[in-house]
Chain A
Amino acid sequence: MTVILNTGCGNLNSVRFALERLGQTVEMTADKATILSAERVIFPGVGSAEYAMEQLRQSGLDTLLPELSQPVLGICLGMQLLTDSSTETTETVTKTLSLIPGQTEALSNEGVRLPHMGWNQLQTISDHPLFHGITQEDFFYFVHGYGVKPSEYTIATCEYGQAFSAAIAKQNMMGVQFHPERSGLSGEKILRNFLEISA
């Protein structure tokens, strides 16, 4: 069974419906035993990193996530929270989960409008199984003002005034900056690929 972490923030239903369209049985929960026994875990989130981290601490999910050995897919803010830190403003740095090395920083607005909102293509795509069958022709739906710079953990990049990680991965931890649940057939392909990845 696939579990969607009930992080207490963001639009959880759209992820659930996307998986149900693929014929999956899905549970949305913050219950530790259920999460630990799940085949795979989806970690969605929108909004501010600071608020989301607070929610995770309150439900104890911040200490549970590092224990997971099954495939985990962070979506949008969920992906960003997998990195080491998030710079919400120039003054505040929020410490995040440190499950995939990297920092989440504000995108530069030089020559582009923020937030980066809409359908964009990928610049580089690795052979990571999450991107099986995906090409540079595919479009994905992005909505974000923060991003993770490309690094050795980047498995796909996107270009919007600057290159940033469209997806990152380290072992069982994966994250996508775009919203596969709202990215039409291309997004469905990503979700199907995730469902085929085993621990």
Chain B
Amino acid sequence: MLAKRIIPCLDVKDGQVVKGVRFRDHKIVGDILELAERYVEEGADELVFYDITASSDRRVVDKSWVEQVAKVLNIPFCVAGGIKTVDDAATLLAMGADKISINSPALADPGFIRTLVNTFGQQCIVVGIDSYFDIETQQYQVYQYTGDPSKTQKTRWLTQDWVQEVQTLGAGEIVLNCMNQDGVRKGYDLAQLSAIRTSCKIPLIASGGAGAMQDFADVFRNTDVDGALAASVFHSGQIAIPQLKSFLSQQSIQVRP
């Protein structure tokens, strides 16, 4: 049986791993290679490296560490942030990244998703979506440039429509970051993830809100996502992956030990 994936996300800025609360007030939590190796040993199923400044700063993700990461990892990893051209993607994949994830550039030019899929194959093209629940309109709205609060802006897309469009364009996986939950550790956005799951036929990864082991059990049980991504709870040591996996296993959720 296909295992549910536990995916630590390492936000990278200037060659260091950071994680902020609600994307603000970043603090450094560790060296990239040190954290990557620790997560492999602990049993992470996949890692995501996300350059949080890249898109909003109009510069490409600093690539020098990608090859170093590829040398030490024996599990798949994805690189996100600032990938704007086919060449950017080609460089990262050639260095050993298994997948690349695009967000703002896909919103600026949805056809970019199809170009990447046609060039590199569906299996390595992930689309990240930052979704915010607007209380006034009672709708989930897609946001962009969320790496920088001063540049963050609402797009014309409702989340459900963008999820549909992204699938039509051929993406291989969607990471849905539920912004209302991000950094507050009160659990994944089960309502939103359930709603999106019904129309998402490709792998869907939950992001934003993990605070306790029960949150992971809840998201797998209630929304049938394929994986759950989290950062601070892992980086701080608050949740250890081996304990999390045995906890999930006891609740009959299939995980890789």
Contact = CB atoms under 8 A, between A and B. Distances in A.
B120 A113 contact: no
A162 to B, nearest CB: 13
A188 B2 CA distance: 20
A145 B71 CA distance: 27
A13 B94 CA distance: 6
A137 B73 CA distance: 21
Contacts of B67: 13
Interface stretch (A16-24, A29-37, A149-157): A16-24
Interface stretch (A63-71, A94-102, A167-175, A179-187): A179-187
A109 interface: yes
B202 A113 contact: yes
A141 B96 contact: no
Interface in A35-88: 46-48
A contact face: mostly helix, strand, loop, or mixed: mixed
B29 to A, nearest CB: 24
B173 interface: yes
B108 interface: no
Interface residues of A, number: 37
B76 to A, nearest CB: 5
A118 B201 contact: no
A163 interface: no
A115 B74 contact: no
B2 A120 contact: yes
Interface string B165-206: 000000011000000000000000000000000000111000
5 contacts: A46-B120, A115-B202, A115-B203, A159-B1, A183-B74
Contacts, number: 94
A181 B70 CA distance: 10
B40 to A, nearest CB: 8
Interface of A: 11-14, 17-18, 20-21, 46-48, 109, 113-121, 137, 139, 141, 143-145, 159-160, 179, 181-185, 187-188
Given A18-B74, A21-B74, A119 B3 contact: yes
Interface of B: 1-3, 5, 40, 45, 67, 70-71, 73-76, 93-98, 120-124, 172-173, 201-203, 226-227, 256-257
Q: Output the residue of A18, A116, A117, A181 with the most chain B CB within 10 A.
A: A117
A152 to B, nearest CB: 26
Given A139-B256, A182-B74, A121 B98 contact: no
A185 B74 contact: yes
A48 B122 CA distance: 9
A118 B94 CA distance: 21
A117 B256 contact: no
Given A115-B172, A183-B74, A11 B203 contact: no
Contact of A118 (B73, B202, B203): B203
